[in-house]
Amino acid sequence: MKRQFTPARLDVRAFAEDGAALSGHGRVGDFTRLAGEAAGRGNERPLAWSAEGELRNPHHVHPEVWLHLKADTVLPMTCQRCLEPVDVPLAVDRSFRFVADEETAAAEDDEAEEDLLAISRTFDLPGLVEDELLMEVPVVPRHDVCPTSVRLSAEDPDFEAARPENPFARLKVLKDGG
C-alpha cells in the first residue's frame, strides 16, 4: 500500500523512500508574501508546482534524501523604467539534498553545489514553493522593451526663473553699499 503525503506536513524521508510525487495548483493569493510582492494585484493568477522525492544510494548506511521542485506563475508588477504594468514570469526548477540537521547543513553548505535543507517529518512544502518563487522575483522589474516611450530627462521652463538669487551675490551688494 502506498503512503499518503500531505504537502504542508511532509515526511521528507518517507517521501524520498517511496520515490513519491506531489503536485498542486493554486493562486498567487494563496501565498501571502508572494501576493505582497504584487501589491495585491493578480491574486487570482494561477500558480502550479510539483515535487518528486528521490533516495540516492538506498543501500548505503546513510542514503541521500533528495527533493526535486518545480514551480511557476506570472506575477503582475510595475516596470521601474516606464511605470506601466508588467507581467513577470517566475519559474523554479531546483533540487535539494536533505541532511540530518541545521548544523550539518551550515557546515556542508560551502562545499556543496546543491541546496541543503534539514530533514523533517513535518516539512512545509508550500512554504518552500513560496520561498523559492520569492527568490526569483527581480529586484527591478521591467519590460524588455517598454510599450511607451520612456522620458529620460526632466525639463521645466519655470525652473530657471524660480531659482533663488545667490546669497553671496546679495551680500556683496550690501557690502558695497548698494
pLDDT tens for the chain, residues 1 to 178: 578 999 999 999 999 999 999 999 999 999 999 999 998 899 999 999 999 999 998 777 789 999 999 999 999 999 998 999 999 999 999 999 999 899 998 898 888 889 999 999 999 999 999 999 999 999 999 999 998 887 766 666 666 666 677 878 778 878 887 6
Check residue 157 and give its pLDDT. 66
Q: Are 35 and 43 in contact (CB under 8 A)?
A: yes
Check residue 60 and give its pLDDT. 79
Q: How far does CA 20 lie from the centroid of its chain?
A: 26
Tell me which residue has cell 503582475: 76
Check residue 148 and give its pLDDT. 86
Check residue 153 and give its pLDDT. 66
CA distances from 48 to 101, 130, 139, 162 (A): 29, 11, 23, 56
Three-state secondary-structure class, residue 17: helix
Neighbours of 120 (CB within 10 A): 14
Q: Which three cell numbers stand for residue 90?
A: 517566475
Model pTM? 0.80
Check residue 65 and give its pLDDT. 96
Check residue 154 and give its pLDDT. 66
Contacting residues for 154 by C-beta, under 8 A, at least 6 apart: none
Check residue 156 and give its pLDDT. 66
Backbone phi, psi, residue 131, to 5°: -55, -45
Cα–Cα dist 72/80, whole Å: 22
Q: Work out the end-to-end distance of the chain between its first and last CA atoms, rounded to an integer number of angstroms.
A: 102
Check residue 21 and give its pLDDT. 97
Cα–Cα dist 135/131, whole Å: 6
